[in-house]
Amino acid sequence: MSDDCLFCKIIAGEIPATEVYRDEDVFAFEDISPAAPTHTLVIPVKHLKDVTEAQEEDDALLGKLMLVANKIATEKGLIEDGFRYVINTGSHGGQTVYHLHLHVIGGRAMSWPPG
């Protein structure tokens, strides 16, 4: 946990969020500024600034983030029509909160290219 991280404070319950999933490794909650009808953030409990900070010992954690995202996409009915996973990294990648997070976005047609 990082004392000055918004998402670490959400995990700790210091800042309210609409929880979607929680276990000892992963926390998921609804985005407060959704980009689509479904927009859920899936984050590791372990503070990693971004995906580039992940090390070999984090391989199971990264896989678990994807599996939890799949579970959420299924529960929210996104599988049949499709959806998007996004991990923004760094300022040019659009990252605004520096705690690794995976966006599960769906419920409408997406355009390409993004951004």
Q: Note the pLDDT tens digit of each residue in 58-70.
A: 999 999 999 999 9
> pLDDT value at position 93?
95
**pTM, 2 dp:** 0.95
Question: What is the rounded distance in angstroms from the CA atom of residue 101 to the CA atom of residue 88?
Answer: 8
Which of 39, 99, 101, 103 is flagged as catalytic? 101
Q: Which residues of the chain have pLDDT under 70?
A: 115
Any catalytic annotation for residue 101? yes
Number of structural domains in the chain: 1
What residues make up the domain containing 33?
A: 6-106
Residue 89 placed within a domain = yes
Residue 52 placed within a domain = yes
What is the end-to-end Cα distance of the chain in Å, rounded?
Answer: 30
Q: Which residue has the tokens 């998921």?
A: 28
Residue 58 placed within a domain = yes
> pLDDT value at position 113?
87
Residue 113 placed within a domain = no
